[in-house]
Chain A
Amino acid sequence: MNLEIIINSIPALLDGAMLTIEITVISVALGLVCSVPLALARVSRNPLLWGPAYGFIFFFRGTPLLVQIFLIYYGSGQFVDALKSAGLWVFFREAYFCALLTLTLNTAAYTAEILRGAIMAVPKGEIEAARACGMSQALLYRRIILPKAFRLALPAYGNEVVFLFQATSLVSIITLMDLTGVARVLVARSFAIYELYITAAAIYLVITYGILFVFKKIEFRMMGHLRQRPDGEAAVAAGTKPTGIGLR
């Protein structure tokens, strides 16, 4: 272990981490926006809607992310002429754009599947009650189903964001200088293999648990109405031992 190499590499690695975070934030945001209509199409009864949505989700969840990245980044090279005439080649030429596009589509598919599960888990009674009040289908989704589904999906969505954050390390393979990319270049230059990779791993670890902490906080706030009040009632509940964890 060479401490000097580690300390000297930290500024460069943190620069890389900034790109990693940037890519994560942009693709998470765009992916979330795309995932809502995708999930709605997936739960629809119209085969023209759920068919394509099902195919899209199945493809992106069933193939490795690295293959998807290669497919879009290198694969687009096969259609240079068509893309040039459409004026899109300036985008597909850039590794940055291809990485964002792939990660966005990928997380949109995973998020849509999480949302679908959450939409299906909305209690029947609530939907029936809303219908009985005379809500239209659109109002029902906007006021009852989607808010409830978002809350149900939150824990799984937190995991998805963490997975996407870690998956961004793959963009280093198509030459982007994210945290992993910087670490690889520094290793090639200095041969300090485990010093640099372990430092990079530690940065990933810290950010990962940072993300999980933030989601815990959000969950705590959004579940406020279900929390036990810190009065006598809660104390009684806390006094009764939960069963089934005897092994611990």
Chain B
Amino acid sequence: MLWEGLQVTLAVGVCAMVLALALGLLGAWGKLSRNRWAKGVAGTYTTIIRGVPELILILLVYYGTPTLIQNTLEGFGIDIIIDINPFLAGFITIGFIYGAFATEVFRGAFLALDRGQIEAARAIGMNRILVFRRVMLPQVWRFALPGLGNVWMVLIKATALISVIQLPELLRNSDIAARAVREPFTFYFAASLIYLSITIVSMLAQQVAERRANRGIVRA
């Protein structure tokens, strides 16, 4: 049962992380762009997300979105009942929240790029997309890795909150088991050890990834 829960937790975590990375790149582009609208939207996004607890956002998305859609459709005379899948609501909310944190990480990484290299690449005739792919992205990846590792570790812990909307992930399943056997401490402690091992594995993976990304770089 805990094993099944772990699988759901990891699935939610990975899906949310992919979403967070995509939103993070988009958000960093928005924050650094000269377009006033993109800047405004990205700024508002990170400000609001970082100022509101995750739990409120999860409840808002899970319970609020179906009602919002139903009420809107009711206005058009369509009467339906929508039930959001907790998995979908969970990973979208978590991904949306940590996208704001990833935005800040990517923004810092883009600012750490050497301007001269980009100018040089432009000067030898690379177009914008090619510069982004060949010059910027490989380095941004390297600068952003430590920050993104942190985002992942905070994110996987945040998935425990989705147990509130009844998704059978690790904590929810431990909760059910604990109530059935009446040994709450044993089961919650087991759950915490599993989370701890996810953290340890992630830390090791991060070290390996960082070493790989930094190969060929002379340490100061």
Contact = CB atoms under 8 A, between A and B. Distances in A.
Contacts, number: 121
Contacts of A76: 185
Contact of A197 (B60, B158, B196): B60
B59 to A, nearest CB: 6
**Residue from the set B53, B182, B200 with the largest chain A CB neighbour count within 10 Å:** B53
Interface bin, chain A: 35 or more
Nearest to A194: B64
Interface in B31-76: 32, 48, 50-57, 59-60, 63-64, 67-68
Interface in B142-171: 157-161, 163-164, 171
Interface residues of B, number: 43
Interface in A156-194: 166-170, 172-173, 180, 183-184, 187, 191, 193-194
Contacts of A62: 195-196, 199-200
Interface stretch (A37-45, A199-207, A229-237): A199-207
Contact of A70 (B60, B67, B171): B171
Interface of A: 58-59, 62-68, 70-71, 74-79, 166-170, 172-173, 180, 183-184, 187, 191, 193-194, 197-198, 200-201, 204-205, 208-209, 244-248
18 contacts: A62-B196, A64-B160, A64-B171, A67-B160, A67-B171, A75-B189, A79-B185, A166-B52, A166-B54, A169-B55, A173-B164, A194-B67, A194-B68, A201-B57, A205-B51, A244-B111, A246-B115, A247-B111
